[in-house]
Amino acid sequence: MKRYGQVCAIARSLDVVGERWSLLLVRELVLGPRRYRDLATGLPGIPSNVLVARLKDLQAADVVTRRTLPAPADDVSVYELTGAGRALLPVLKELMAWGLAHAPEPCEGDAIQPGWGLLSAEGRPSALPEGQSCELRIGQESFHLSSDAGQLAVRRWPAPDGDVTVAMSPDTLYRLMTGQISVTDAVRNSTVDGDTTIAHRALQPLAAAAPTPASVN
């Protein structure tokens, strides 16, 4: 990794995560462990040699670790954040807030993925009682929505023991999170298997989690 060579905490932090793609790679791991191919999919446009290099650098800096999943998924390797990596979440949250307030609007054709929006809602107040959970399916991806000390917790895996499953289109999620539709409308436009009251509570923190940006369709 390149170094700034400065006795400054900002410069030394950027020595670790300042390379292009590094913080976006951390973003992809905030909601849970991912396989290499999942990271490649979640980072559209990244060259494979750059992804390999960034993973190597972040592992060397103890930001990311690699492990093999236990049976029945033997020999499946995933990458996940270490404690130091998870400590970057407030930095990502501040970058989100700054971007919504000051960054240029998205351009037509820009990539958009469900996990990026859900990350912005993670940590928002939630009326979902602890012990209850919702599996949110967006296309081919599944997310586990629950409550941790009254705050929405989002993880990127199915909820096999969840109280309700909501299958929602990416467009419905986008419209919900940008304030174009209500939670009631989102539930009505989705396929719900289970208690709709729990579905409403689980999805409420997603409503208008960010100001409406320009359309990226």
Crossing angle for the helix pair 22-30 and 89-102, to the nearest 10 degrees: 110
Provide the pairing of β-strand 77-81 with 141-148: unpaired
Domain containing residue 151: CATH number: 3.30.1050.10
Same domain (yes/no): 28, 56: yes
Q: Which residue has tokens 């989705």?
A: 190
| pTM of the predicted model as reported, rounded to 2 decimal places | 0.87
Q: Average the pLDDT over 40-68 and give the result.
A: 96
Alpha-carbon Rg for the chain in angstroms: 18
**Percent helix, strand and coil across the chain, each rounded to 5?**
40, 20, 40
Domain presence at residue 166: yes
| 8 A C-beta contact, residue 65 and residue 82 | yes
Q: What is the pLDDT of residues 109-168, one digit of tens each?
A: 999 899 999 999 999 999 999 889 999 999 889 999 999 999 999 999 876 778 999 999
pLDDT for position 74 = 66
Final residue before a domain boundary, out of 101, 125, 146? 101
Domain presence at residue 211: no
| 8 A C-beta contact, residue 209 and residue 114 | no
Q: What is the greatest pairwise CA distance in the chain? A: 56
Same domain (yes/no): 19, 76: yes
Final residue before a domain boundary, out of 80, 101, 122? 101
Provide the domain count of the chain. Answer: 2
The count of residues in the chain is 217
Q: What residues are paired with 192 via a beta bridge?
A: 166
Greater confidence (104 vs 71) lies with 104
